[in-house]
């Protein structure tokens, strides 16, 4: 009893409060409708939820398939201890996305329609199926932690036997929907600013998701090490940091060549204020992390790795907010600023995910993988 009381720290109490507020606002939304809690309109149907919960949420959960590929496909065994936490975080991230969509949809009771009514020409159809299937894959990939805790040996052995097919399926599904979020924007060529619009947006989205996946694992592992007293080897985190420039570098080249090839590079100097967002995104969110992670001194310091990874995360979030909110043109005569209840719901979902992560780290072997994992 004393231990549980001590566990309710000020941070935990704040998370519980935010999650509670978000829950009650969500109930209010389902009673009175979207118009009661949002500033969205027919002229501005995309708002804070799409940018933060969907576009950022899906990308920031990419550490799951990234680490699974590194460990299981490329057999980089040194990253053994980071795989399960990354998968857990990805799983919680996708659950957050699903709940956010339920709140954002005007008719959430029809969310299952994608299962039966197939519109194969719609990027949203592909996103819906990939999110459903990949969430199931993540649940199965994380299930060994539950089976180990419950000492269920038979289902644990079964999951071990299908581990590699699960990982491959997860990589394929993630590749599909990470890129399809960019495909959705290619349908709005008249709404997306020329500095960002490109037929290559699906490729840009996928590559940037890979880079932020690596950064998120560094970021989360650093926070977990302090919060849950885990010992994370700086050489392991530094190894991930060494990979970041090799992903961000091609992304930078692709973005710059694309805007030059399309004849829009001059807008980077004339299209105020959009050009400021573009330069901040490119220089601050891409070039600066490439320089930082290329420095051996940064890769040997846990604190420098943490802050460098945070810059990548913030750069990715800026990109997703840019393309889905800041530079996305609405219908003339309409403006948008998020209602406080919109932010409250997102903060509540995020807080609930952190609380779940806290419980998982306490009661499940998140940072302890069984010996059969190495043989998988």
Is the separation of the CB atoms in 91 and 142 below 8 Å? Answer: yes
**Among 203, 145, 123, 135, which Cα is nearest to 169's?**
135
Q: Is residue 371 part of a domain?
A: no
pLDDT of residue 6 exceeding 70, the answer is: no
The secondary structure of 141-177 as a DSSP string is HHHHHHHHHHT-HHHHHHHHHTHHHHHHHHHHHHHHH
**Per residue in 49-73, is it b (16+ CB within 10 Å) or e — as a string?**
bbbbbbbbbbbbbbbbbbbbbbbbe
- In the predicted model, what is the mean pLDDT of residues 293-310? 94
pLDDT of residue 223: 87
4 is a domain residue: no
Which pLDDT score, from 0 to 100, does residue 368 have?
Answer: 57
The pLDDT-based confidence of 375 (bands split at 50, 70, 90) is: very low
User: Over pLDDT 70: what percentage of the chain?
Assistant: 96
10 Å CB burial of residue 242 (0-12, 13-18, 19+) is middle
pLDDT, residue 176, reads 85
Average pLDDT score over residue span 186-191: 86
Q: How far is CA 173 from the centre of its chain?
A: 14
Flag whether 2 is in a domain: no
For residue 9, is it within any domain? no
Determine, yes or no, domain membership for 188: yes
10 Å CB burial of residue 254 (0-12, 13-18, 19+) is middle
Residue 305's domain comprises: 16-366
Structural domains counted in the chain: 1
Domain membership flag for residue 376: no
CATH number of the domain within which 199 lies: 1.20.1630.10
Report how far residue 41's alpha carbon sits from residue 17's, in angstroms, rounded to the nearest whole number.
29
> What are the beta bridge partners of residue 41?
44
Q: pLDDT by residue (tens digit) across 41-71?
A: 888 888 899 999 999 999 999 998 999 999 9
The structure's pTM equals 0.89
For 374, residues 6+ apart whose C-beta sits below 8 A from its C-beta are 77, 80
Give the CA distances from residue 238 to residues 79, 214, 235, 291, 374, in Å, rounded to whole numbers and listed in that order: 11, 11, 5, 14, 22
Under DSSP, is residue 2 helix (H, G, I), strand (E, B) or coil? helix
Q: Out of 28-32, 225-229, 334-338, give the one with best mean pLDDT.
A: 28-32
Q: Among 237, 223, 244, which residue's Cα sits nearest to residue 301? A: 237
Distance CA 317, CA 94 (A): 16
Q: Does 6 fall in a domain?
A: no
Structure tokens at 19: 């999650």
Is position 3 within any domain? Answer: no
In terms of C-beta density within 10 A (0-12 exposed, 13-18 middle, 19 or more buried), how is residue 301 classed? middle
For the beta carbon of residue 142, count every other beta carbon within 10 angstroms: 22
Other CB atoms within 10 A of residue 117 CB: 9
Q: What is the dihedral of CA 339, 340, 346, 347, to 10 degrees?
A: 170
Mean pLDDT of 89-114: 88
């Amino acid at each position: 009893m004393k231990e549980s009381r001590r566990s309710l720290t000020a941070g935990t109490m704040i998370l519980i409060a935010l999650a509670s507020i978000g829950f009650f606002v969500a109930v209010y939304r389902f009673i009175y409708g979207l118009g009661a809690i949002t500033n969205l309109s027919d002229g501005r149907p995309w708002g804070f939820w799409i940018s933060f919960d969907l576009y950022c949420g899906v990308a920031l959960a990419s550490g799951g398939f990234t680490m699974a590929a590194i460990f299981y496909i490329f057999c980089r065994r040194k990253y053994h201890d980071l795989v399960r936490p990354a998968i857990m975080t990805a799983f919680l991230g996708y659950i957050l996305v699903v709940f956010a969509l339920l709140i954002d949809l005007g008719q959430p009771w029809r969310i299952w329609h994608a299962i039966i009514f197939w519109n194969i020409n719609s990027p949203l159809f592909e996103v819906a199926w990939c999110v459903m299937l990949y969430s199931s894959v993540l649940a199965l990939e994380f299930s060994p932690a539950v089976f180990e805790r419950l000492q269920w040996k038979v289902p644990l052995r079964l999951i071990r036997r299908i581990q590699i097919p699960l990982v491959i399926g997860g990589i394929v599904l993630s590749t599909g929907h990470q890129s399809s979020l960019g495909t959705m924007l290619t349908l709005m060529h008249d709404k997306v600013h020329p500095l960002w619009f490109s037929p290559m947006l699906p490729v840009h989205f996928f590559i940037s998701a890979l880079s932020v996946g690596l950064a998120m694992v560094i970021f989360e592992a650093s926070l977990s090490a302090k919060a849950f007293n885990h010992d994370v080897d700086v050489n392991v985190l530094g190894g991930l940091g060494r990979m970041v420039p090799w992903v961000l570098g091609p992304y930078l080249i692709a973005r710059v060549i694309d805007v030059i090839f399309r004849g829009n590079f001059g807008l980077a100097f004339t299209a105020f204020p959009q050009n400021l967002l573009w330069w901040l995104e490119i220089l601050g969110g891409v070039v600066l992390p490439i320089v930082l992670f290329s420095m051996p001194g940064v890769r040997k310091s846990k604190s420098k790795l943490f802050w460098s990874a945070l810059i990548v995360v913030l750069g990715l979030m800026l990109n997703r907010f840019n393309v889905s909110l800041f530079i996305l043109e609405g219908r003339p005569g309409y403006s948008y600023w998020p209602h406080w209840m919109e932010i409250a719901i997102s903060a509540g979902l995020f807080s609930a995910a952190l609380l779940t992560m806290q419980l998982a780290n306490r009661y499940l072997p998140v940072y302890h993988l069984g010996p059969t994992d190495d043989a998988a």
